[in-house]
A and B are shown apart, each in its own frame.
Chain A
């Protein structure tokens, strides 16, 4: 096609129309279908990036598998786990840690996507997202949903491999664990989102591991039941009790065996809402940290 200026083939849709003012007046409100398109677009981009970064998927899978194959096998004989709900018989240590490792996948994923948002902000992709006419809370929520989608794929891939390692949940458990994974993914993703607004620059992932991931993981019921923690150290027990990650682990653990743990669900849902609201405030253009943070250097 000829691209000379004013070529008639390029302009038909752009001709001025007498109906234009009326249409502009109605456009103050964005149509609902646009919201759906916008969220679908954000998820689609996340999926494309995911397909382009297979290394990230593999490393996200190898990490919990190392824990399962090596750590759990080594500790099998050291740690005896008595019968506690939701388990009905004596279980192998591998079976006990599997739900915690699923939660760990989501924890890593949530923080990794938050770090990628810090990176996005540095390279500017975040700004492209934020100049969308859709409300900012909706854009952040869409980003979160996209991240949860990726973490679900990783969690199920891990559960599939673990199944061959004799970590077998009842078949229905693989279905009932889905809502639990969605909720815990939402909480950990929202936590990552909040953290992404607090970081000014791309931090070293190692420091995030040291100061966030490992403390959260170790002070939870992921590796050992809480009654065991209580026996050995009462202060540590209380730390575990106040760690929201504990409840994510327990929610997943019960759901994997077809059971619903209401208290954990409540804590995880409450934390998810709190983290999400805080993140939305942090990204709000008038109240947010972005405005207070300093010059355009922080926002470029």
Chain B
């Protein structure tokens, strides 16, 4: 019961701040709402019993990536008022179409979940993990079952980093 209440409060905060992120005019305020949003997502992870993921969420997203966003926003528009869009209502139909597609997709997923409740939460072989503790389990899974996806993700990040350096620095 208490968990359900906590979940709905956190979920409402996430959605509310999400709406504020896209509806606020001031870009810096919008970035700040994004930070709050990420913090509540971290709270959701804590509620789900994943403290490691929650700490990483705060460290990487709220504390790392959004600081860089803020940097860029502060450096780009130093107190120049935001320019009005030439036609804010263009592509309204496309927007509604995309939103409807996402809604249908979510509905399909929810219907699938209700139809096959066991399949929705198929925990892959949690019994086979020989370590206890959330951090240890995440580490064990990353370096055994999910080693190749993990390495591919690391390679992608490395490539992105080298690409950024090459783009930013013309003479190496």
Pair from one complex: no
Residues of B within 8 A of A (CB): none
